[in-house]
Amino acid sequence: MIDRADAALADQYEAYPYPLRDPKDEARRLVVGSPSHLAEVDHWIFGARRPASAPLRALVAGGGSGDGTLMLAQQMAWRGRAGDVTWLDRSASARKVAMARAEVRRLDNIRFVEGSLLDLPSLGLGAFDYIDCCGVLHHLSDPAAGLSALAGSLAPGGGIGLMVYAPHGRTGVYMLQDALRRLAPPDEAPAARVEIARRVWKHLPDTAWLKRNPWITDHLKGGDAGLYDLLLNPRDQAYTVPQLAALIEGAGLRLRCLVEPVRYDPDTWLPDVRLRARTAGMDMIARAALAEALTGNMGIHVAYCTRAADPVAEPDWSDPAGVPRLRENEGPALATGLPADDVLPVTFDGLRVPLPLPRLARAMFGRIDGVRSIGEIADDMAASGTPREVFFRDFEELRRQMERMNRLFLTPQG
């Protein structure tokens, strides 16, 4: 059943396919992000245990103008990975943009299906090993029904990469949405609403919280599509960590990882031993909820989940045959760019996270290429004088720090 907000939502994405993309730009860059980077899917969903030769059947539910679809399909093509990516969305104009982008890239591993993810059980698309649902569930009238439809389309051993809005980092957004609903009600034509919103932004008092929130920029940099999605959306509901965890559990799924894990670890912000004594007894969700409330800057949550009924597939870092890779193969750049004190400076939406790395980090970064195994890297470094026990001690520390930054993964073999 389509309610009024659903109809307005359909009109929005027909008028303004999201995000705003020019197919010509595919010739010069690939948009990458989370969820659904192939290295993340391999690692967080399959624990790098699913053979690289096994065809991957992926679905991008609510694919929009194609960012997630193109990234995954392109990364599969570059790595010679068998399988395909199904783009599914209700918006015909988003489909046009996504198809044009795929054409520029000459990708032939994408299938385009126009329809609602709520109808998945009757669409006859079969079961999927991986499902992306990025920025979609929080617009549905019943997000739980949406996630259940996705969970029901997973093949055994499969998993889902989700993105939903989070409230604290969107401070100011909902106040302005409220103001704009009063000035430009959702039943007006999308273009008329955009015009009103632009006028309002020009005159917005400096005390409006969105003016003080520099981390939200879609209304400034995302064209009309970005402005509409952020400020005029007929329905968007943000999730705190506990609310997201309940949504995931309710769909028969298990939360495997929140990206980036380091942001969800309260100990990152609380070095005080008396405080750490209190966080030590908390479970993963309570810790993540605390980190969310402490930092106040999370505007989205990205979560990888697997079926609760399936055994957990943990990456096995203890196996010397395991092959590590950095997310964007940035090993050489990290090796040369790491500051002399071996502390990697990282910033998340204005929040600095100094990441102390072990002494051998530079030498290891220079050798992590997604091809050599941990054992081979150890051999190579032993040949230039690094005792194995020193290598394995430092590698474990490098692994711990870079994995929780969502930058270092194990790659599947076979």
Q: What is the smallest separation between the CB atom of 185 and ligand SAM, expressed in angstroms?
A: 20
Rounded Cα distance between 109 and 96, Å, is 17
Element (H, E) at 68: helix 67-78
Q: Which residue has the tokens 């030769």?
A: 53
Output 91 or 295, the one with its CB closest to ligand SAM.
91
- Cβ 149 to ligand SAM, closest distance in Å? 9
Cβ-based nearer residue to ligand SAM, 94 or 405: 94
Report in angstroms how near the CB of residue 265 gets to ligand SAM at its nearest.
26
User: Is 383:389 a contact under the CB 8 Å cutoff?
Assistant: no
Torsion 192-194-196-198 (CA) sign: negative
Pick 230 or 355: Cβ nearer ligand SAM: 230
User: CA angle, corner 306, sides to 254 and 136, nearest 5?
Assistant: 90
- Complex with ligand SAM: residue 145 or 282, whichever CB lies closer: 145
What's the min distance (Å) between Cβ of 168 and ligand SAM? 20
Chain residue whose CB lies nearest ligand SAM = 64
Q: Are 160 and 130 in contact (CB under 8 A)?
A: yes
Sheet with 56-61, edge to edge strand ranges? 110-114, 83-89, 56-61, 128-134, 154-165, 300-307, 253-259
Closest CA to 117 of 106, 125, 129: 125
Binding site for ligand SAM (CB under 6 A): 9, 13, 18-19, 62-64, 67-68, 88-91, 94, 116-118, 134-136, 139, 229
Residues 405, 234: Cα–Cα separation, whole Å: 34
In the bound complex, what is the minimum distance in angstroms from residue 6's beta carbon to ligand SAM?
8
Minimum CB distance to ligand SAM smaller for 40 or for 229? 229
- Strands (DSSP E) contained in 51-127 are 56-61, 83-89, 110-114
**What contacts 238, CB < 8 A, 6 or more positions away?**
138, 164, 165, 166, 167, 170, 174
- Burial of residue 383 (CB within 10 Å: 0-12, 13-18, 19+) is exposed
Shortest distance in whole angstroms from residue 92 CB to ligand SAM: 10
Helix (H) or strand (E) run with residue 9 in it: helix 4-15
Q: Which is nearer to ligand SAM, 42 or 218 (CB)?
A: 218
CB-nearer residue toward ligand SAM: 21 or 404:
21
Q: How far is the CB of 111 from ligand SAM (least distance, A)?
A: 15
CB atoms under 10 Å from CB of 367, counted, come to 17
Smaller CB distance to ligand SAM: residue 47 or 64? 64
Shortest Å distance, C-beta 363 to ligand SAM: 38
